[in-house]
């Protein structure tokens, strides 16, 4: 389900597809996790984890997508956005947050967050914890962690820096043609 | 040759802050032969330093020192430590401003007389009027090179403007144009290059096409040999003698060492939070409530303009980020017409944010598909900003917080509640703004809440009577003859117009007054 983006692979991708699949188990519908890594279901990308459990990282990535769902944006971008939580400094709080999230999922009758098939059901679980510090920290972090990735901008049509190209004076600042 | 004055030289005028008020005042005084030391808390950044990247630029230029907030305004919830989006750098917020340069309408100088008393508002008339200000506005427009004034042509409209213009004309609006902007529209008769429609006006103009004190007034003043700008110098306290005259300022220099600069006159231009904060932090046994505060008006009547944004989504691309950030204006609603359900008026001005800031400001705190499906159509989005006159209220105020900054100085707490007039105006503006986009076939439009304030006004206001405000019609404080207010905090009321041109006009006028009084030996 996840296509690799040419030239935009996240750092930390160090496993071959075969290595990956031989060492992994499914985590939810989108991810596979193994010892110390989480990867997309198609093994298009993988990320090693050092401080938090790979299942927790998979949960974070899914949570990130459910908070700011863009169907045209690949999982890599969400993975990069939450990668920083895999640190010794953050591990305890992140694991506690994931436990809180899974508890909310269980309370809603699911096995855990990642096993919920429909986005709207996962959103209902997020709603239950959205007032808490964990949710708000993850959400606030995504505002820059996700949307400030330059590689993501073209997906939204945003062109970024323009000074080096001479601005738009001769490159379509007034080229609207449908009014 | 850049001047260098001695710390003990008590013949200098010390100006605190180098933005639209302080930067212009510094140059104007220097041109008249007055010796000036300008103390600027931020560093010096020039066009080659500016960054076409919203967050990187924000880290480079924004005032990020601690502040706290209170009140029911949404900024306190969404951006509690960032009540204002203003700049800490030589040139101040003139690096960041979009360039809109509008004169007050004549009646706006007399808000109390025109609108009558408004319950809960502390309205006053300015002690000056349109006739008094007209020649100073003309000088300010010439200095800034304002389009559509003098013989300067208007700027061409970008895509965002074209959408806005078509919708506005369809609604029957008449006063629709690319506005009066302090952005060069032609390469003739100017030292500045014409606008290259690059966007990123908020991040500092890398062409120098937009007027900013950082690369105009400041170097011009320095070239006279009468102006010394000390950057990364954070003023902690204004000192005074037993006669109640100010004698100079204590400041932390770039190395963090506390220095004392003597002064004949001190002019305060640190913007509307820092200026009252400094007066309050300068309390003494003689002035226990802070300097120039016998009226208890220091910090009160904080105004931020009634703002908000409207974005429209269309079924085809707009690419609003291309070209000038503020590319056009509708002025029909700027009139005073109480039949709309509020006093005063508002301007509608196009505005564009890049994707990163759109994500941060579109609906702060929102998540899920209601939010993301709007961003999905970023390329097809058009945007505008509301600028309306808000009501001064004595309870909207800057006070000293218990929190302290990196120097151990108490920081400003900014309290703000909307007045019912502000709410009625904003809702009217939201409705009209959305109607503009609907008239061009928007498939979705939405009202976006106010951003951290960029227009910060009123906390040391000008008043005829000393008990109503902090300074007189020259910006001279009622209590202390050699202490002046030189920034937007002297605004008695905010009017509907972006404030920079008026701040600049007042600074030119104040320089004239100070130089004259110094020559006469009265200050």
CA closest to A147 among chain B residues = B356
Instruction: Report the distance separating Cα B384 and Cα B332, nearest Å.
Output: 15
Helix (H) or strand (E) holding A97: helix A88-107
Closest-CA residue of chain B to A157: B379
Among chain A residues, the shortest Cα distance to B439 is held by: A179
The residue written with tokens 């009577």 in the block is B465
Rounded Cα distance between B448 and A151, Å, is: 26
**Phi and psi dihedrals of B397, rounded to 5?**
-155, 160
What number is the average pLDDT over the span A104-115?
Answer: 97
Share of chain B above pLDDT 70, in %: 100
Residues of A in contact with B440 (CB under 8 A): 179
CB A26 within 8 A of CB A34: no
* pLDDT of B65 strictly over 90: yes
Are the beta carbons of A173 and B159 separated by less than 8 Å? yes
Average pLDDT over residues A12-31: 63
Q: What average pLDDT does this structure show over B225-245? A: 98
Reported as a single tens digit per residue, the pLDDT across B286-328 is: 999 999 999 999 999 999 999 999 999 999 999 999 999 999 9
pLDDT value, residue A17: 58
Distance between B332 CA and the closest CA of chain A, angstroms: 23
Is pTM, for the whole model, over 0.90? yes
- Check pLDDT > 60 for residue A8: no
The residue among B261, B211, B289 whose CA lies nearest residue B38 is B261
The SS3 call for residue B278 is helix
**Exposure string (b/e) for B302-341, b if CB count within 10 Å is 16 or more?**
bbbbbbbbbbbbbeebbbbbbbbbbbbbbbbbbebeeebe
Question: Is the minimum CB–CB distance between B439 and chain A shorter than 8 Å?
Answer: no
Q: How many other CB atoms sit within 10 Å of the CB of residue A44?
A: 18
Closest CB to B318 among A153, A171, A176: A176
For chain B, the 3-state helix, strand and coil shares in percent, each to the nearest 5, are: 30, 20, 50
User: What is residue A166's three-state secondary structure?
Assistant: coil
A101 CA: distance to closest CA in chain B (Å): 17
Name every chain B residue with its beta carbon within 8 A of the beta carbon of A153. 355
Determine the average pLDDT of the residues in A126-150: 97
What DSSP string runs through B40-69? -SSB---GGG--SSHHHHHHHHB--S--EE
Cβ of A161 and B53 within 8 Å? Answer: yes
Cα of B265 to nearest chain A Cα, Å: 42
A173 touches chain B (CB under 8 A): yes
Largest CA distance in chain B: 70
Closest listed residue to residue A27, CA positions, set A54, A65, A67, A6: A54
pLDDT of residue B138: 98
Assigned token pair, B368: 């899920």
Q: Which residue of B has its CA nearest to A163?
A: B198
Predicted complex ipTM exceeds 0.85: yes
CB B374 within 8 A of CB B353: no
B206 touches chain A (CB under 8 A): yes
Joined tokens for residue B484: 């002046």
β B234-240/B227-230 pair status? unpaired
- Listed in sequence order, the DSSP H helices in B244-362 are 271-281, 355-361
Q: What residues in B contact A124, CB-CB < 8 Å? A: none
The residue of chain B nearest to residue A73, with distances taken between CA atoms, is: B376
Of A72, A143, A157, Cβ closest to residue B360 = A143
* Centroid of chain to Cα B344: 19
Angle at Cα B213 formed by Cα B218 and Cα B511, nearest 5°? 70
pLDDT of A112-128, one tens digit each?
999 999 999 999 999 99
Residue B54's pLDDT is what? 98
Residue A143 CB contacts under 8 Å (≥ 6 apart), including other chains: B359, B360
Tell me how close the Cα of B375 comes to any Cα of chain A, in angstroms: 8
Q: Which residues pair with B230 in a beta bridge?
A: B39
């Amino acid at each position: 389900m996840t296509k690799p983006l040419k030239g935009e692979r996240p750092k930390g991708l160090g496993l071959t597809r075969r290595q990956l699949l031989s060492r992994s188990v499914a985590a939810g519908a989108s991810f596979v996790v193994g010892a110390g890594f989480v990867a997309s279901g198609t093994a298009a990308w993988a990320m090693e984890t050092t401080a938090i459990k790979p299942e927790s990282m998979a949960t974070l990535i899914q949570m990130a997508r459910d908070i700011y769902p863009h169907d045209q944006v690949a999982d890599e971008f969400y993975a990069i956005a939450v990668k920083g939580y895999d640190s010794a400094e953050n591990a305890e709080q992140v694991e506690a947050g994931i436990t809180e999230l899974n508890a909310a999922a269980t309370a809603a009758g699911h096995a855990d967050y990642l096993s919920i098939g429909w986005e709207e059901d996962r959103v209902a679980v997020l709603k239950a914890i959205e007032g808490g510090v964990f949710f708000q920290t993850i959400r606030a972090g995504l505002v820059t962690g996700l949307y400030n990735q330059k590689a993501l901008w073209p997906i939204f049509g945003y062109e970024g820096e323009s000074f080096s190209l001479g601005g738009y004076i001769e490159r379509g600042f007034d080229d609207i043609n449908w009014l | 040759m850049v001047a260098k004055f001695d710390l003990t030289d008590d013949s200098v005028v010390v100006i605190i802050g180098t933005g639209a008020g302080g930067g212009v005042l510094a140059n104007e005084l220097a041109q008249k032969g007055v010796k000036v030391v300008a103390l600027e808390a931020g560093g010096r950044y020039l066009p080659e330093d500016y960054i076409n990247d919203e967050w990187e630029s924000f880290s480079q230029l924004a005032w990020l020192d601690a502040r706290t907030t209170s009140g029911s305004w949404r900024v306190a919830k969404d951006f509690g430590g960032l009540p204002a989006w203003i700049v800490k750098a030589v040139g101040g917020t003139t690096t960041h401003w979009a360039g809109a340069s509008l004169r007050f309408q004549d009646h706006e100088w007399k808000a109390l007389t025109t609108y009558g008393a408004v319950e809960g508002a502390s309205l006053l008339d300015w002690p000056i009027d349109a006739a008094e200000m007209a020649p100073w506005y003309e000088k300010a427009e010439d200095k800034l090179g304002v389009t559509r004034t003098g013989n300067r042509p208007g700027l061409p409209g970008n895509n965002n403007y074209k959408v806005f213009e078509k919708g506005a004309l369809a609604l029957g609006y008449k006063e629709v144009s690319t506005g009066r902007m302090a952005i060069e529209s032609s390469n003739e008769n100017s030292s500045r290059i014409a606008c290259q429609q690059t966007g990123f006006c908020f991040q500092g103009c890398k062409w120098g096409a937009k007027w900013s004190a950082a690369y105009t007034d400041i170097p011009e003043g320095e070239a006279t040999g009468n102006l010394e700008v000390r950057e990364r110098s954070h003023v902690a306290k204004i000192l005074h003698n037993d006669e109640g005259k100010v004698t100079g300022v204590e400041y932390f220099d770039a190395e963090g060492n506390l220095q004392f600069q003597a002064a004949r006159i001190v002019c305060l231009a640190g913007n509307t939070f820092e200026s009252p904060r400094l007066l309050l932090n300068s309390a003494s046994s003689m002035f226990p409530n802070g300097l120039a505060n016998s009226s208890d008006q220091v910090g009160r009547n904080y105004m931020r303009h009634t703002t908000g944004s409207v974005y429209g989504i269309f079924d085809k691309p707009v690419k609003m980020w291309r070209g000038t950030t503020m590319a056009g204006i509708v002025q029909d609603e700027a009139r005073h017409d109480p039949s709309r359900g509020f006093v005063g008026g508002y301007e509608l001005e196009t505005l564009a944010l890049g994707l990163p800031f759109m994500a941060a400001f579109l609906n702060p705190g929102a998540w899920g598909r209601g939010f993301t499906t709007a961003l999905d159509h970023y390329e097809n989005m058009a945007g505008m900003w509301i600028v309306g006159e808000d009501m001064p209220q004595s309870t909207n105020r800057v006070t000293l917080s218990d929190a302290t900054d990196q120097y151990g100085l108490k920081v400003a707490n900014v309290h703000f509640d909307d007045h019912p007039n502000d709410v009625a105006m904003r809702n009217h503006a939201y409705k009209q703004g959305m109607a503009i986009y609907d008239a061009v076939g928007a498939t979705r439009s939405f009202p976006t809440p106010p951003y951290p304030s960029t227009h910060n006004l009123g906390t040391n206001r000008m008043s005829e009577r000393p008990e109503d405000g902090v300074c007189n019609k020259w910006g001279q404080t009622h209590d202390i003859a050699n202490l002046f207010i030189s920034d937007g905090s002297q605004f008695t009321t905010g009017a509907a117009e972006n404030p920079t041109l008026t701040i600049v006009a007042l600074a030119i006028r104040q320089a004239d007054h100070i130089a004259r009084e110094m020559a006469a030996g009265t200050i």
